[in-house]
Structure 1
């Protein structure tokens, strides 16, 4: 490989398009087809053709989830198939990989031709569609352009700025879920050796509520089930999850469960395509015959925020049945392994059915249907995603889910337990490997012993508090490992102002995005290898590890030549910044980068559950991090699983207002937009929209595709408005609305975060919608 400090040579094929392909007028037609199947196949084929990935795309498809030496999909965190399935893939995973493997390039000639001011007027699709970044760039304020910089000088700029801080807490180090475990460990080690726990991450916006709730109830911040449990359970309750878009490989598990007679209850304000039928692409006979499989036996549509009331109603029904049916409760489990049951039983008894119906938005008969499924199942799994967590009461709701599971002993046995669905490939691994702004004393003690440092003990900043600190001028250096922070964070104009107030912003990225254009007085773009690419170091081609949503840790090895000889791996970039910032550090940063096994050896001493890391991660399918709660060992103050007794929140919108939840379209992955289409919801050529109940539209005099204004009211009474969005009639409960992030993030005020989890309440914004 060429030296990373060689002058950047622009690839001959660098002919970036200015924007997206021309599109037609906005269209809406309800979608009535199975999820996945031929619709997914056609979409993937069109995408491969568009990106010119005629050879590399199919090669990636055949290898990206394989145990036999391929690389792991960098998309969602759904576990790999445990039986060696050779097409354990999905539409969005293929798009994600192909998007990274594009032949388009963004180098010095591109940045010389386009100023930051000009690029700021481009769409987010157009920015990322220019292709892969090819070398490190630094912002030149005099010309308003990014210009080339050597890696040595880039690291020195970062190091000098960090060394000159009067307090290490004036820096914040953000992490996206795309970062592998080895780079994650080095990143948090650098921050803590510098002296700060300012480690905000994407979990702060997604599943922080899940972690805090499970830790409080069970003594572990993770789910306890694995994919084998999904294969044998009697009942699946899927809450606040759009599986077809956000965890598409779950469709296989749902189809398999239905075929063997398991009950599948989908709980979501919107009935998504994944909650109806699917054609699993690797089932070739079914594909050929257009034969679909059901993915649900019951669909319930609570109002936005009504999940907790529904679960409370199910628990109330079970407890009422227990007076005549001794088998309705697992009394032995409750007596041996839990505490707080009597208080919870009294709470359920005191909660009127009328209030459960009012808050859930469901009739008593619908709640009883769900309760009957739960009662009749010997083993049940409850799975949930952001539709449950991004609320003021997200922690209480997840704890209520655990309460329900405890009633029938659905914990610590095969086919039963809580199963949160993490949306990004390694976001769970980030937390396991030290990205935590509230580290435990036990973690810090072990890190200190393994690495010979004295880590800070005070809690650091999470995502929201980091933005607020930047806005106040208290944080002046912001480093982001992956992601698109400027768009992912809430209150977009506020976040922009915060980033622009920094002395230095550093973005470690693979492609151009909005966060490169919303920057501090000094700014660096540091391009890294993608997970699809070979990582050559002195010790040979390196592998990195990731942890999936069910605590399995496995290796990922790239298969493709890097997009540019001037890219560095994420561990190498972290080590370069660390050495420059900590010139006298005793940590062997350069030695670590020569061979990642050395990083893993240190991790095995520093991290609970990673013992004997290098050997176990090379086992077939890797290894599963131990889950004490699965073994009925509860690391709670009581030493037992703890029932919670939170009151039901009032989630009924005030007259004239709606509860709005943000979400992704199908042709989108987090903040990356592949097109303006949302096939499963019947939308084409449109993202600036709002889905509304037809009765709510009629009441407001709004017709299909009418332009409307959407105004949110924050906790502090301030308002934010989006103008000219188009109204789409949809099957959604009255009083509810939905639209796409990141466009709608502007409606979530920086102060509108949960007091329980500190998460922005992206799924429960108070809005009014009026005809424009």
Structure 2
């Protein structure tokens, strides 16, 4: 594959997106199924895209997919098959030498597998034997708390609901999930401040907003369909303000691949009205600076503040005591820039604030999100048409999984309803989150690890520690569609259980089944596959969960196998247990599904005190740190040919990188200061209180990034992130703020 670094100067989208989409369809050998499958993506009678959680707008549009959606669908609908014959001839040690892109390219798994230590290979096992092995290991534990049950955000509502029920009937709340690594701070911050941990806007609000503030987010790569929404907003005159350390092309200009005139004329739409490249982690100070500028002018919706909020006076005093020099140092922006941004905010009658993991993966992430909340509350921009808070989540059902009860700290009311509906006493003690699960495995307190999807070994921090933790388990089990790194970092015994994908027909006793998902804006809709299964031996996720439960809990009163004969039965039980899901089966039949509602959007504040809360937070304490000019702050990012830990290719088109993944983006002045140069290979060493961690041989790439800041791709740099470095009160690993130093690599 050709390796090249070349500045990308074209708009996002356009012919590049079409060319890339066609290339991935060819590479995955999707053949005749490709176009019909894509045309059913995000349609009322089709399946939900297995990629991001951005909502669907045009329910009767022919095309409701983007470049990333094509990659996700092509990867799942590939004609490539990874058979037991192949795996029986290739040891785990040999497979582990492949990179993540090569593992992804092996194709769909076709039958259940068990690790055989004698041959170091995965060999076939019957489904009955696999479930019996799981039941044996779980029943042999001294305590239910010696098992941890991970969940990926691609899991359906039906599978997630059964999974958490199984885990709680087993006797634990050890339900770590991908939310622990991404938007956990959003839930903590908003729940405390607004009374609900979900975004308060719908897609319709973007059509009414007069200003949209985007923090720590790159929609061009992570959820490209959002660019269509931003383009439409920009075209009608909405001001779009971006705070992001990196210059991301999708936030600068965009050509919609479905806009024939733009495509043929070479036109594009300018997205950002103002772009502020702040220092990594400087968002809290930037928002606090905007608040200072606004309060100095006497700005505020006094009626809203008086009728709906508490803590305003305390915030005013804190902001007054915060100096402009401190705000400038911490944000990396000038006072003039912060006042400019505040002026745009003050001039808007309807403002949306949206953010991604550039905000959530910091030590002070909860405080930052609550400062964004303060900004919205000051202008009364919650519960107003065209205004509100919008955390943009990643995988297609990561929000729905939480709604279904995938939570290590479940609410008491949820457990009460669950116990009543299924006639058992759910455990009440909090369980392990992701970081806690790794720590417990290392300490020998967790001995069985089950994963409903995902790539735990690659997604988690502190790679060496996490891999040691997994290898200490007596049993690791992964429910998946393809082979990934986690399956090669296994316990003493290990199972791989292949499942149906979102695009495939799920045929149960009562006929073809649909599942449901919840998008980032609380819309719940159905998803029904259309393609034949990749193998006749695949089982649906709900069936796998039900059979695990039946094998593990022989005395359970829950009719597990009866429930999965017809998923409407699962949805009836969800309606009994989960708030907002009354008449679930009837409402989900509506084209586009139904809206769950949002208490904060309705200005009902389910908080301590019954009001929306202004929250006071100090600036991060970095000013007090010893000056060390050799230290940088590194943020981990996705490449464009990547979705979370799934690597579709080795290119990052919008950042001008082709054929590389081990790259490090750096400011020119920093290279000159350290006497380094673009194209040089360096080692990256992270600095933490328990010692150093090293990632070797990364290519320096000159980029428009603030001085003192670096960016590089995960999961390659996850090894640098200490397990003990996580967000205050939310415990999300701080993947966007790793303290590192660079040194020239030794010759290869």
State yes or no: 1:710 paired with 2:681.
no
**Distance of 2:336 and 2:683 partners within structure 1:** 37
Q: Do the aligned partners of 1:393 and 1:756 also contact (CA within 8 Å) in 2?
A: no
Query: How far is 1:493 from its partner?
Result: 0.8
Counterpart among 408, 411, 419 of residue 437 in structure 1: 408
Q: Do the aligned partners of 1:451 and 1:606 also contact (CA within 8 Å) in 2?
A: no
**Distance of 1:450 and 1:360 partners within structure 2:** 50
What aligned pairs does 1:548-587 form with structure 2 within 5 A after superposition?
Answer: 548-587=519-558
SS in 2 for 1:628: coil
State yes or no: 1:736 paired with 2:736.
no
**Distance of 1:65 and 1:366 partners within structure 2:** 40
What aligned pairs does 1:113-128 form with structure 2 within 5 A after superposition?
Answer: 113-128=89-104
Bigger shift: residues 615-624 or 334-343: 615-624
Bigger shift: residues 716-725 or 671-680: 716-725
Corresponding pairs, count: 742
In the alignment, what sits opposite 2:439? 468
In the alignment, what sits opposite 1:9? none
Q: Do the aligned partners of 1:609 and 1:626 also contact (CA within 8 Å) in 2?
A: yes
SS in 2 for 1:630: coil
Q: Structure 2: 5+ residue runs without aligned partners?
A: none
In the alignment, what sits opposite 2:173? 197
Q: Do the aligned partners of 1:539 and 1:594 also contact (CA within 8 Å) in 2?
A: yes
Query: How far is 1:72 from its partner?
Result: 1.1
In the alignment, what sits opposite 1:32? 9
What aligned pairs does 1:527-538 form with structure 2 within 5 A after superposition?
Answer: 527-538=498-509
In the alignment, what sits opposite 2:352? 381
Q: Report the TM-score, using the length of structure 2 for normalisation.
A: 0.98
SS in 2 for 1:629: coil
In the alignment, what sits opposite 2:471? 500
In the alignment, what sits opposite 2:564? 593
In the alignment, what sits opposite 1:719? 692
Q: Do the aligned partners of 2:55 and 2:203 also contact (CA within 8 Å) in 1?
A: yes
Bigger shift: residues 429-438 or 79-88: 79-88
In the alignment, what sits opposite 1:669? 643
In the alignment, what sits opposite 1:222? 198
Counterpart among 21, 44, 62 of residue 44 in structure 1: 21
Query: How far is 1:82 from its partner?
Result: 4.4
State yes or no: 1:80 paired with 2:56.
yes
Q: Do the aligned partners of 2:457 and 2:463 also contact (CA within 8 Å) in 1?
A: yes
In the alignment, what sits opposite 1:394? 365
SS in 2 for 1:750: coil
In the alignment, what sits opposite 2:307? 336
State yes or no: 1:545 paired with 2:520.
no
State yes or no: 1:294 paired with 2:270.
yes
State yes or no: 1:686 paired with 2:660.
yes
**Distance of 1:479 and 1:381 partners within structure 2:** 39
State yes or no: 1:142 paired with 2:113.
no
Counterpart among 39, 42, 48 of residue 65 in structure 1: 42
Q: Structure 1: 5+ residue runs without aligned partners?
A: 1-22, 323-327
Q: Report the TM-score, using the length of structure 1 for normalisation.
A: 0.95
In the alignment, what sits opposite 1:17? none
In the alignment, what sits opposite 1:319? 295
Q: Do the aligned partners of 1:306 and 1:651 also contact (CA within 8 Å) in 2?
A: no
Query: How far is 1:552 from its partner?
Result: 0.4
Query: How far is 1:289 from its partner?
Result: 1.7
Query: How far is 1:54 from its partner?
Result: 3.1
Counterpart among 260, 279, 302 of residue 236 in structure 2: 260
Counterpart among 659, 662, 672 of residue 698 in structure 1: 672
Cα deviation digits, residues 589-630 of structure 1 (max 9, x gap): 011110000000000000011111111111121111121111
Query: How far is 1:285 from its partner?
Result: 2.0
**Distance of 1:82 and 1:608 partners within structure 2:** 27
Counterpart among 142, 146, 157 of residue 170 in structure 1: 146
**Distance of 1:413 and 1:442 partners within structure 2:** 29
**Distance of 1:666 and 1:389 partners within structure 2:** 20
SS in 2 for 1:568: coil
SS in 2 for 1:620: coil
Query: How far is 1:218 from its partner?
Result: 0.6
State yes or no: 1:764 paired with 2:740.
no
Counterpart among 186, 207, 212 of residue 188 in structure 2: 212
Counterpart among 78, 82, 87 of residue 102 in structure 1: 78
**Distance of 1:154 and 1:379 partners within structure 2:** 55
Query: How far is 1:84 from its partner?
Result: 3.2
In the alignment, what sits opposite 2:248? 272
SS in 1 for 2:621: coil
Q: Do the aligned partners of 1:337 and 1:640 also contact (CA within 8 Å) in 2?
A: yes
Query: How far is 1:407 from its partner?
Result: 0.4
Q: Do the aligned partners of 1:394 and 1:756 also contact (CA within 8 Å) in 2?
A: no
SS in 2 for 1:768: strand
**Distance of 1:606 and 1:445 partners within structure 2:** 9
Query: How far is 1:253 from its partner?
Result: 0.6
Q: Do the aligned partners of 2:365 and 2:728 also contact (CA within 8 Å) in 1?
A: no
Cα deviation digits, residues 231-265 of structure 1 (max 9, x gap): 11000001111101101000101110011000001
RMSD: 1.0
State yes or no: 1:514 paired with 2:485.
yes
Q: Do the aligned partners of 2:104 and 2:648 also contact (CA within 8 Å) in 1?
A: no
**Distance of 1:27 and 1:704 partners within structure 2:** 12
In the alignment, what sits opposite 2:724? 751
**Distance of 1:267 and 1:594 partners within structure 2:** 49
Cα deviation digits, residues 331-388 of structure 1 (max 9, x gap): 0000000000000011111100111000000001111111011000000000000000
Q: Do the aligned partners of 1:700 and 1:770 also contact (CA within 8 Å) in 2?
A: no
Query: How far is 1:755 from its partner?
Result: 2.6
Q: Do the aligned partners of 1:27 and 1:684 also contact (CA within 8 Å) in 2?
A: yes
Counterpart among 157, 172, 175 of residue 133 in structure 2: 157
In the alignment, what sits opposite 1:659? 633
